Structure 1
Amino acid sequence: MIPVAQGLRFPEGPVALPDGSVVLVEIAAGRISRVAPDGTVSTVAEPGGGPNGLALGPDGKLYCCNNGGFEYLEHPSGLLIPHGQARDYSGGRIERIDLVTGAVETVYRDGDFGCVLRGPNDIVFDAHGGFWFTDHGKTRERERDVTGIFYAKADGSHLEEVIFPSENPNGIGLSPDGKRLYVAETYTCRLMAFDITAPGKVDQTAGLGGAGIPVYRPAGYKFFDSLGVEEGGNICVATIGESGISVISPAGDLVEFIPTPDPFTTNICWGGADRRTAYITLSGTGQLVRMDWPRAGLALAY
């Protein structure tokens, strides 16, 4: 693994851009940053709160899941560790960010369309121009939110909680054919699949006790974070604790586990002409790293 940028404040949500740069969030700093190929870091926007997942939309703008903010612990080891809901928590929301001007618009906020947004986390656009996102919720002393999985239109005209409840959903992605939605749950450390029946709809009968088919769950002290999908269909889940990337086949087999040096390994995306350069966020140590990947990442909708 080759360090691309260091000194970041809990980086997440990497998006590889055509010019070779990577845009990502620094959750603890409340900002969106761009990392140039030479490692130079510049600020794109400062939405505040807790910018988390990012995705490019059909209008060429960034869509950001803002979780409203965490408190943090500075561990003696040097790790930066999220620790519960921020004292100045600003509420969950979805934001639209202009990559050129840095302008930030709120597309959806808590209460819109009757939906509860506590801690939006990760996001993926489909081929229809809508997007799925998870709400990881917030943790407070002696309580944790029960949350769900949402579908929304980019123009602000529709927001719906499609799946409820979900156990602390985090990473989210689509299969190459767009017919399956994958969601990684953090504390249960489960990868779940949902069969998509129409844009923004899933088969609510597929799975015991409600929507959701268990795909994979590892042994050991691990927690799942965000995820990316390969061109061939494997799901690459950033894994916290025994840190690394868990590569899981659609059938639920562990293809391989690629270890990383940071227990808070949180996300992966792919860039380069052949999408075989993996960019991985090592959040605890504040790094963006890259490595050659044995397979191509999936080309995203936008």
Structure 2
Amino acid sequence: MKPIFLTFLFLATNSAFSQIENYPTPPEAIRQENVAKGKLIQGTYRGSRIFPGTVRDYAVYVPDQYDGSTPASLMVFQDGMSYCQENRGTRAHIVFDNLIAKGEMPVTIAVFINPGVVPANHPDKAEARYNRSFEYDGLGDAYPRFLIEEFLPFIEKEHDLKISENPDHRGICGSSSGAIAAFTSAWERPDSFRRVYSMIGTYVGLRGGSIYLDLIRKTEPKPLRIFLQDGSNDNNIYGGDWWMANQSMQRSLEWAGYEVNHVWGKGRHNRKHGDSIFPDAMRWLWKSKTVSVHPSRSNSRASEYLIPGEDWKVLTAGHQWAEGMAFAPDGSLFFTDVPASKLYKISPSGEQSLIDADTGKTNGLAIGPDGLIYGASPAAKEIRTWDPATGERKTIFSGATSNDIVVRHDGHIYFTNPVEKKVHHLAAGSLNHSIVETKLERPNGIGLSADQSLLFVADFTGRFIYSYQINEDGSLKNRQKYFHAHLPDDGPGALDGMTVTANGMPLVATELGIQIFDQPGRVQLIIPRPKPEDKRTNYVAFGGPDRKTLYVATAGTIYTRKVNLKGADPLSPTKPPKPGL
């Protein structure tokens, strides 16, 4: 009887799945009388620099309503050729014909693109290299840059099309790994894509995609509109549980205040359900002309730490590599252009002037209790000071390269030396030199706690900022790998310049942007780079008359932004409140 029962159970289960997976073709995916038919053009793309050697098929749908006089909206489909079959699957081009004709979505060009394949040199002896997981499951900006910098410009030129550059006019779609590629493209480049349809998305641990469940909650919300679809019988394998991951994505997005919609079903890992609701998903994604952030419905720390409507403003630009921002008591900002060996001052009224044109490529700066500007000059292998009033320069220490520097209220000086993997100490008053750390791979950014009882040192190549207690004589003890930063997918954390709030929260410039930590060492919020095309954030400081303006350096540019945080006074340490543990 037992084998019969098992056979019955198996047949019943298959029958149930058969019913679950029986989704009707939506009427919008069927050709309608009196509806103009758009063109579908096919081609092959080669020549990518970002994914060298790849070859990929593509198709372009051009609606009948497009006349070339006005740039069209855009929708990009990953695994694209499967979305534009005439008699099966999504039939996206047919859906677009019908929805555009009814005015339920704008005049939209659709680009259907397959993942790249690197053909084998000898097909009879070797297999090709298939780039799908590499391009789609991988995080970071490589795939969105491929679309934005290479493929879409090629499409416009090759087929004489005008595609809107307004990100509100651009959407992206995918299924499974194609879905996470679509989300990553919008996440990395909301200046190019703001509408996302994700079917059975692979937000699991194949190539780190599960980190989105955290990053969405911790990153300043972006202007995105996302439609999620999945089924309860989706994959549950070595890489993760797709069904649970998609539900967690929905919860993270809603918690952070995103405009998100979802439809859950019972299907397996296929597009049957997602295809059946595709027209409804398009209607919802294109329901309004603009996509915006709604801070009022967000639980993100951004609602607490940032000011709605306040965005980044350029303070100064055109530098080779701006660094070392430090503020004098009168509110003047001093900063360096490292490769140019220049030291600049920006007065409280905004006037910029040159203080020194030969700084020894000074990097980090700090204001000492004596009012002098202290600088780490790696090319000269010196620690220097400048009088902010006269610009007079003096050398107070020589013999070691350096990167960043901090000066305590009592005169103790600390500076990092990434070349020799050291942290140096110059004692208050005597300037007696000692080496207080030798075990970090690349010590870079350096800072103090709000009460100046702790020294913080960032390891540039890793993910940790180390914390040390400072003894009365300035020596260090009780070293801990304390603050845990988030890393980009394809490189070091680039943990660099840092500052601290009056209530004890360190802010650190990193590859991902400004990471704000609580006192126990956890990231509370990530503020992305002011512009996607900026190089990494490399320095951060508080300034302004109330120390409530954030200053951020991104190589050639320094930006400012008013925030709901207040910087600690470097000349007047204050005990912060006990943190929540």
Q: What range is the shorter-chain TM-score in? A: 0.7 to 0.9
Taking the TM superposition and a 5 Å limit, the aligned residue runs for 1:178-197 are 178-197=452-471
Amino acid at match of 2:521: G
Quote the residue 2:441 is aligned against.
167
How much does 1:264 deviate?
2.6
How much does 1:198 deviate?
2.3
Q: What's the RMSD between the two structures over aligned residues?
A: 1.9
* Matching residue within 324, 328, 332 for 1:13: 324
Amino acid at match of 2:362: P
Q: Please report the TM-score for the alignment, with normalisation by the length of structure 1.
A: 0.79
Unaligned runs of 5+ in 1: 69-90, 111-116, 138-145
* Matching residue within 554, 558, 562 for 1:282: 554
Amino acid at match of 1:263: K
1:175-223 deviations in Å (ceiling 9; x for gaps)? 12222111111111321111223231111xx3xxxx3333213233432
Tell me, yes or no, if the aligned pair for 2:368 and 2:408 is still in contact at 8 Å. Answer: no
1:236 has 2:504 as partner? no
User: Percent identical across equivalent pairs?
Assistant: 27
What is the distance in 1 between the residues matched to 2:428 and 2:357?
A: 21
Higher Cα Rg, which structure: 2
What is the distance in 2 between the residues matched to 1:52 and 1:172?
A: 12
Quote the residue 1:226 is aligned against.
497
1:264 has 2:536 as partner? yes
Tell me, yes or no, if the aligned pair for 1:194 and 1:213 is still in contact at 8 Å. Answer: no
Tell me, yes or no, if the aligned pair for 2:343 and 2:359 is still in contact at 8 Å. Answer: no
Quote the residue 2:472 is aligned against.
198
Taking the TM superposition and a 5 Å limit, the aligned residue runs for 1:74-89 are none
What is the distance in 1 between the residues matched to 2:324 and 2:404?
A: 8
Amino acid at match of 1:100: A
What is the distance in 2 between the residues matched to 1:7 and 1:293?
A: 25
Tell me, yes or no, if the aligned pair for 2:314 and 2:557 is still in contact at 8 Å. Answer: yes
Give the structure, 1 or 2, with the largest relative contact order (CA under 8 Å, sep 6 or more).
1
* Matching residue within 535, 545, 549 for 1:273: 545
Larger fraction in strand: 1
Larger fraction in helix: 2
1:176 has 2:450 as partner? yes
Which 10-residue stretch deviates more, 120-129 or 245-254? Answer: 120-129
What is the distance in 1 between the residues matched to 2:431 and 2:331?
A: 33
* Matching residue within 24, 35, 51 for 2:335: 24
* Matching residue within 385, 388, 404 for 1:96: 385
What is the distance in 1 between the residues matched to 2:371 and 2:328?
A: 11
* Matching residue within 556, 561, 570 for 1:300: 570
Taking the TM superposition and a 5 Å limit, the aligned residue runs for 1:55-66 are 55-66=366-377
What is the distance in 1 between the residues matched to 2:567 and 2:483?
A: 20
How much does 1:156 deviate?
5.7
Amino acid at match of 1:149: V
1:73-117 deviations in Å (ceiling 9; x for gaps)? xxxxxxxxxxxxxxxxxx42101112222222111111xxxxxx1
Unaligned runs of 5+ in 2: 1-311, 573-581
1:35-80 deviations in Å (ceiling 9; x for gaps)? 2345442111133421111111122111100121xxxxxxxxxxxx
Q: Please report the TM-score for the alignment, with normalisation by the length of structure 2.
A: 0.42
1:149 partner SS: strand
Tell me, yes or no, if the aligned pair for 2:427 and 2:474 is still in contact at 8 Å. Answer: no
How much does 1:255 deviate?
0.8
What is the distance in 1 between the residues matched to 2:567 and 2:426?
A: 24
How much does 1:263 deviate?
2.4
How much does 1:27 deviate?
0.3
Tell me, yes or no, if the aligned pair for 1:5 and 1:40 is still in contact at 8 Å. Answer: no
Quote the residue 1:127 is aligned against.
409
What is the distance in 2 between the residues matched to 1:157 and 1:279?
A: 30
2:364 partner SS: strand
Tell me, yes or no, if the aligned pair for 1:5 and 1:35 is still in contact at 8 Å. Answer: no
Taking the TM superposition and a 5 Å limit, the aligned residue runs for 1:138-177 are 146-153=420-427, 157-177=431-451
What is the distance in 2 between the residues matched to 1:23 and 1:157?
A: 23
What is the distance in 1 between the residues matched to 2:571 and 2:330?
A: 17
Change (3 A) 1:36 1:9: farther
What is the distance in 2 between the residues matched to 1:62 and 1:17?
A: 8
What is the distance in 1 between the residues matched to 2:536 and 2:488?
A: 16
How much does 1:14 deviate?
0.7
What is the distance in 2 between the residues matched to 1:17 and 1:288?
A: 17
What is the distance in 2 between the residues matched to 1:46 and 1:215?
A: 37
What is the distance in 2 between the residues matched to 1:156 and 1:46?
A: 29
How much does 1:167 deviate?
1.9
1:224 partner SS: coil
